[in-house]
Structure 1
Amino acid sequence: MTELLAAGAPQDAELVRAAQAGDTGSLGLLLARHRAGMHAVALSVLGQNQDAEDAVQDAVLIALRRLGDVREPDAVGPWLRMIVRNVCRAKLRKTSAVPMADPAAAAAMERSGGPPDPAEVLDRHALRDWVWNALEDLSPGLRLVTMLRYFTGVTSYEDIAALCATPVGTVRSRLSQARAKLAGALLDSADRVHDDAAELSARHRRVAEETMVSAHRGELSSALSDGWSPQAEVVWPTGRHTGIGYLPVAFEHDLADGVRHELLNVVSSREVVIWEAALLSPPEDPAHCPPTVTWVHFLDRDRVGKIRLYHPRTRKED
């Protein structure tokens, strides 16, 4: 801590502006400088236990996503501690939703009907490549629960457990491990050269959009022939397993029933790609289908080898 605040060290405001401009080294230094203060807040609210460390790790991830929102760079220390305090309060309330950095952000989310597009959040500043490359350092099991929890609408432990076909306790354990590893990886990798995650994300979004257009034209079989393995397995929300050939048949049934699919979000890593889509029921039968569907694609050598489909619970059901 003494070295970080030594004479000649950059001030917080300088580090914030540099980090917002995409300097990952400055962000790493900023988080390291304030980590002790963040931990002290967590201890004061939650006491000496693992929850306090988990709260700091959650807060680091939230800060990474919301750094572009900082309007008073000189006050970044209190801002970081406020995030920790809000995370701790959320833990005390035992809420299942991912805590937001401030009440205004939560209100904005309610008005918009859901969380912001993660791609838009990360694109507010040039840190996305750093974040996504740190995610790639996680094991596949830890990476998937982290992508779902922080970058999609599938945020509750119960939904993640159902989608991943694993107990809720395992989800909690994996998220705890992932937070610790990711926070450390982000700090340790601040000075690396990173791949262009934006290019990867854009490529997968184009594929998703083109696939949806083809599907609504009744040409899903043709679209699947390019990036999906002929031996790909599909796991349906009911738990049923089929081959990839049944996917176009099911989609055509939806179209015949007047159901439309509207792509909402695409989250991608090198081995997992997640699509989130709204399911628009016909006006004469508004309860025909669940409101949304999540597609999780597991890639093998850039081809989809397995797809898992899941209907997240609505907010009311939570």
Structure 2
Amino acid sequence: MFADSDSDEQLVRAAWAGDSSGLAVLLARHRAGMLAVALGVLGYGPDAEDAVQDAMLTALSRIGQLRDPAAVGPWLRTIVRNNCRMRTRPTRPIPLPDIASLPLAADGPTPDELVEQRAQRDWIWHALAGLSEPVRLVTLLRYFSDVNSYEQIAALCGVPVGTVRSRLNQGRTRLADLLRATAELAHDDAGAQAEARRREAEQTLVAAERGEFEHVVRSAWWPDLEVVTPNGRFSRGPGVLLAGMDLDLTDGVRQRIRNVLVSGDVLIWEADLISPPDDPEHCPPAVVWAHRLRDQRVSRIRLFHPRPSVAAV
């Protein structure tokens, strides 16, 4: 348990060691200074609060990039400032801070290593499970997937961009509260759950290539499964999925799982689509399977072809 007298350096080193409660205290301690920076750049309004919430989420996975533990206050304010600058650009497909401009850690863990530290990872994913299903879906897409622009999230979810913004605002506010409230609790192993779901996804695609897709679908998914295809067509039952997979395999199209996200009743597969060698433009480069679970079985699937990211000129 940390006290107000504990120094920033002590709290950072505790966070580096995987103690999520130290990071929670740090974020609470420096929130006022972060908000002051956001107000100075963006003025009074909801954008300033959003910038701070985004910065806090970024800090959760980037604390390992801090070189000087005693300088965590300026580091957090730099994240906010960069985040605000991204928000003031005319176009901003992904309004996350420019992490390349932040000081990198000399001896601390890399960001990937830090994210994989069990205690901190489980803390974040436990908090995500406390969001409502619609809010959790847009939050997972925004912060953990390649489908992270407002426009693509809106297209995948079948809602207006304004609804995506509203849900993300709800998610940021609620998630910040949940993270503070659950920092010292023991959590389930989120990594093991994600790995199990990834194996399941990969095995499903292997089964499809063996001609066993229908068996998997009928044993693991609900008979009244709801399906929304990339063109927005709705159907009930697995028929359209079975027909689509059969057509793809006949044409020589294969899928390769790139990323799997799971939180409560939300399961997302991100997969590369591999066109046949003699027809390299046969299909889009990727597909997202957004699943909704009921009693651990799939009750709804929405398929989506994300647009490739366009590099800024």
TM-score relative to the length of structure 1: 0.89
How far does residue 11 in structure 1 lie from its aligned partner after superposition?
1.7
| Identity level (%) | 53
- What is the CA deviation profile of residues 30-81 of structure 1, one whole-angstrom value per residue up to 9, with x for unaligned ones? 1111111111111111111111111000000111122233333222222111
CA offsets 1:106-161 (integer angstroms, 9 cap, x no match): xxxxxxxxxxxx98772156311111111111111111110111111111111111
The amino acid across from 1:212 in the alignment is L
**Within 5 A, what are the aligned runs for 1:228-243?**
228-242=221-235, 243=237
Which residue of structure 2 aligns with residue 301 of structure 1? 295
Which residue identity does 2:88 align to in structure 1? L
Tell me whether 1:143 sits opposite 2:136 in the alignment: yes
Match of 2:269, SS state, is strand
Contact 2:87–2:95 (CA under 8 A) maintained in structure 1: no
Q: What aligned pairs does 1:138-177 form with structure 2 within 5 A after superposition?
A: 138-177=131-170
Report the secondary structure of 1:192's partner residue. Answer: coil
Deviations 1:203-222 (A, max 9, x none): 21111111111112221112
Give 1:187's aligned residue.
Answer: 180
CA contact (8 A) 2:227 2:234 kept: yes
**Whole-Å Cα distance in 1 between the matches of residues 234 and 114 of structure 2?**
35
Letter of the 1:66 partner, please give it: R
Q: What does 1:13-92 correspond to in 2, within 5 Å?
A: 13-92=9-88
Query: What RMSD in Å do the two structures reach over aligned CA positions?
Result: 2.0
**Distance in structure 2 (CA, Å) of the matches to 1:237 and 1:205:** 22
Contact 1:211 1:220 in 2 (8 A): yes
Gaps of 5+ in 2: 103-110
Question: Structure 1 CA distance, aligned partners of 2:170 and 2:114?
Answer: 24
> How far apart in 2 are the matches of 1:317 and 1:232?
38
Task: Decide whether the 8 Å contact of 1:68 with 1:125 is kept in 2.
Answer: no
Work out the CA distance in 2 between the residues paired with 1:207 and 1:139.
24
3-state SS in 2 of match to 1:289 = coil
Q: Which of these residues, 270, 275, 289, is aligned with residue 276 of structure 1?
A: 270
Structure 1 residues 121 and 166 mapped into 2: Cα distance closer, same or farther (>3 Å)? farther
Q: CA deviation at 1:294?
A: 0.4
Displacement of 1:167? 0.8
